[in-house]
């Protein structure tokens, strides 16, 4: 038969243990850097995607107009 092991970390243990001999690390100052005011990567992706979608819609409409006389814009 297997030997029973002691359970560590049970909820009924005595409160939090204090660390003796270790001092708290000194606080480190963090410099906050603002982002540039230019266009970000997300904005560029949105603009490129919009241009590509509009171009594709116009190309498909041109194709429909030239072959099937069913275009909306052409």
**Average predicted confidence (pLDDT) for the chain:** 81
For the chain, the structural domain boundaries read: 39-69
Confidence of residue 32 (pLDDT cuts 50, 70, 90): confident
Confidence of residue 25 (pLDDT cuts 50, 70, 90): confident
Query: H-type helices in 1-74, by residue range?
Result: 41-68
The stretch 9-35 carries a mean pLDDT of 70
pLDDT given at position 11: 62
Please, are residues 72 and 60 in contact by the beta-carbon 8 Å criterion?
Answer: no
Distance of CA 61 to the CA centre of its chain: 36
- pTM equals 0.49
Distance of CA 5 to the CA centre of its chain: 44
């Amino acid at each position: 038969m297997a030997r029973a092991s002691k359970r560590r970390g049970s909820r009924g243990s005595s409160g939090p243990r204090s660390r003796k001999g270790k001092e708290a690390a000194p606080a480190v100052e963090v410099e906050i850097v603002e982002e540039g005011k230019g266009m970000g990567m997300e904005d560029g992706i949105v603009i490129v995607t919009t241009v590509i979608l509009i171009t594709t819609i116009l190309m498909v409409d041109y194709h429909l107009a030239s072959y099937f006389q069913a275009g909306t814009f052409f």
